[in-house]
Amino acid sequence: MTVLRRLASIASWILRRDRIEQQLDDEIRSFVEMSTADRIREGVPPTEARRLALAEIGGVESMKEIVRAGRHGALLDDLGRDVRYAFRLLARQRMFAAVIVGTLALGIGANVALFSVVNSVLLRPLPYHEPDRLVRLASTDQANNLTRIGFSYSRFLEVQQRQQVFSDLALSARHAFTLIGRGVPEQVIGLQASATLMPTLGLQPIIGRNFSPDEDRRGGPRVVLISRQMWRQRFNGDVSVLGQALTLDGAPYTIAGVLPDAATAFPLNHQQIWVPRPSELPLAPSQLQGGSYFFRPIARLKPGVSLEQAREAMNVIAAGYRTAHPGNVDAPSAIELVPLLDDAVGARRESYLLLFGAVVCVLLIACANIANLLLARFAGRRREIAARFALGASRGHVVRQLVSESLLLAVLGGVGGVLLAEWALTALAAFGADTIPRVAEIRIDPPRPHGLEILDTRNP
């Protein structure tokens, strides 16, 4: 209850300050008048009686200061006065304040922007269900200098039939479609994906449904899943979009559902549509049968199966594939398993970390220079500080005033840095969509308690 009373006292002081000040003034003046009247009755002249009454309490303003110092909100009141004085002081020294705030804003803004990139691209888990179990299957042939490239369709079928380490296995291929029939014809980027891709990632459509097994085969119905962005821009977010037609590459497709944002960032940014049947891509039969590094398989490890165990299983399958298909182009290549996050980031990890380290060093240098400027400024205020001591200011009050000025500069620089970082990230999203992985996920995250992160996006 003591803590609650203190909080209530502080809140009352903040919200009803004028009324409380008036009450304090009335009480002190009433006490002075009563003390004066008592002395007058004792035979003291009125003027002398009032002087003695004021001397008894040490003066009206002095008594007010004593009462204020005893309240729970006194520290907030003192801090408020220190901050107001700091504002007035910096307003008189605009050039000095501008240099300090600008330097801090540039250093903090660069660090916030780079850390947001590192956090979003490298540290934050992929927005899928249990993303640490997701891997990409890649072909690697060191003899021909081929590293982590795609799969042929025949090799995918071999893995699909013989593997026992994946709970889900899906296939996709990036493709540029020509969209006609809705304004000016335009090219949209999308995926031709197997019906198992969305369950493998642990996602579900926002509205509608996923591909059915009948649609995921040659000659099946033509359906399409569209992105949330396309749904909002072209269909105004209307739920009745389901069942409407889109003409892609001259063929009619029926809209079956709307993709969550996590799906449209896979495997690169700005995927607008998904269509089924990757085996029906416009490739020659020899490419489908003899080895074209065109397809991108994604798999989910079974519970209890480690990445090393899965790699050993893929080595066995690759050896069997070389024996069974000696004439295929991709027969000599090995099957490599890459965690999906590592595959998304690629070789950029070291460059991002190095750039972030360089920016941190720049901020440290800026802070050292600012500290020197502040020390030089404080040294030039010796006379002011000596005068304040002479007038009765305590050492703690003077130190608090100087700290308040430094904190005010730091806060202004921090706010400017966050605004600068927001602008930089907006520009980054506009110009780096094709070069920076996961660019759509880059943002400045507010701090939140541990354990509130939602990684299961099967129901976005």
| Mean pLDDT (whole number) for 91-114 | 89
Q: Which amino acid is it at 399?
A: V
| Mean pLDDT (whole number) for 347-354 | 78
Helices (H), 141-243: 153-162, 197-201, 228-235
**Contact partners, residue 39, CB within 8 Å, separation at least 6:** 48, 49, 52, 53
| Mean pLDDT (whole number) for 90-115 | 89
Q: Which residues pair with 166 in a beta bridge?
A: 301
Most confident range, picked from 23-27, 328-332, 405-409: 405-409
Q: Find, among 310, 298, 226, the residue nearest to 267 by Cα.
A: 298
Better pLDDT: 289 or 273: 273
Per the CB < 8 A criterion, the answer to whether 421 and 444 are in contact is yes
Length of the chain: 460
Count, in order, helices (H) and strands (E) of the chain. 16, 11
DSSP letter at 32?
H
Per the CB < 8 A criterion, the answer to whether 137 and 336 are in contact is yes
Identify the band that residue 303 occupies on the pLDDT scale cut at 50, 70 and 90. very high
pLDDT at residue 450 in the model: 44
Better pLDDT: 384 or 240: 240
Better pLDDT: 7 or 298: 298
Cα–Cα distance between 58 and 39 in angstroms, integer?
17
Strands 186-193, 273-275: pairing kind: parallel
pLDDT at residue 452 in the model: 39
| Mean pLDDT (whole number) for 201-226 | 89
Strands 134-141, 146-149: pairing kind: antiparallel
pLDDT at residue 416 in the model: 92
pLDDT above 80 (res 307): yes
Q: 23: buried, middle or exposed (CB in 10 Å: 19+, 13-18, 0-12)?
A: exposed
| Mean pLDDT (whole number) for 367-381 | 84
Look at the block and give the residue holding tokens 């308690």. Answer: 449
pLDDT at residue 204 in the model: 92
The three-class DSSP label of residue 294 is coil
Give pTM, 2 decimals.
Answer: 0.69
Identify the band that residue 255 occupies on the pLDDT scale cut at 50, 70 and 90. very high
| Mean pLDDT (whole number) for 292-316 | 90
Cα–Cα distance between 279 and 150 in angstroms, integer?
14
| Mean pLDDT (whole number) for 136-161 | 84
pLDDT above 80 (res 270): no
Cα–Cα distance between 174 and 274 in angstroms, integer?
9
Most confident range, picked from 346-360, 395-409, 413-427: 413-427
Residue 157 structure tokens:
């079928």
Cα–Cα distance between 402 and 99 in angstroms, integer?
18
Task: Classify the C-alpha dihedral 454-435-232-204 as positive or negative.
Answer: negative
Tell me how many degrees the CA angle 49-51-56 measures, rounded to the nearest 5.
95
Angle, helix 2-15 to helix 74-92, in steps of 10 degrees: 40
Cα–Cα distance between 290 and 106 in angstroms, integer?
55
Better pLDDT: 285 or 220: 220
Give Cα separations from 28 to 53, 138, 174, 175 (angstroms).
11, 85, 82, 83
Percent of the chain with pLDDT over 70: 80
pLDDT above 70 (res 26): yes
Cα–Cα distance between 459 and 211 in angstroms, integer?
17
Residue 246 structure tokens:
């889109």
Cα–Cα distance between 159 and 313 in angstroms, integer?
10
Most confident range, picked from 100-109, 120-129, 178-187, 371-380: 100-109
Identify the band that residue 373 occupies on the pLDDT scale cut at 50, 70 and 90. confident
Identify the band that residue 289 occupies on the pLDDT scale cut at 50, 70 and 90. low
pLDDT above 70 (res 296): yes
pLDDT at residue 51 in the model: 77
pLDDT tens figures, 60-82: 666 666 665 555 555 566 666 77
Cα–Cα distance between 138 and 148 in angstroms, integer?
5
Residue 328: CB atoms within 10 A of its CB come to: 18
Identify the band that residue 256 occupies on the pLDDT scale cut at 50, 70 and 90. very high
Beta strands in 142-239 (DSSP E): 146-149, 166-180, 186-193, 207-208, 223-226
| Mean pLDDT (whole number) for 218-228 | 88
Of the listed ranges 49-53, 233-237, 260-264, the least confidently predicted one is 49-53
Q: What is the average pLDDT score of the chain?
A: 80
Per the CB < 8 A criterion, the answer to whether 250 and 235 are in contact is no
pLDDT tens figures, 157-173: 889 999 999 999 998 88
pLDDT at residue 448 in the model: 56
pLDDT at residue 291 in the model: 56
Task: Classify the C-alpha dihedral 309-312-317-318 as positive or negative.
Answer: positive
Percent of the chain with pLDDT over 90: 23
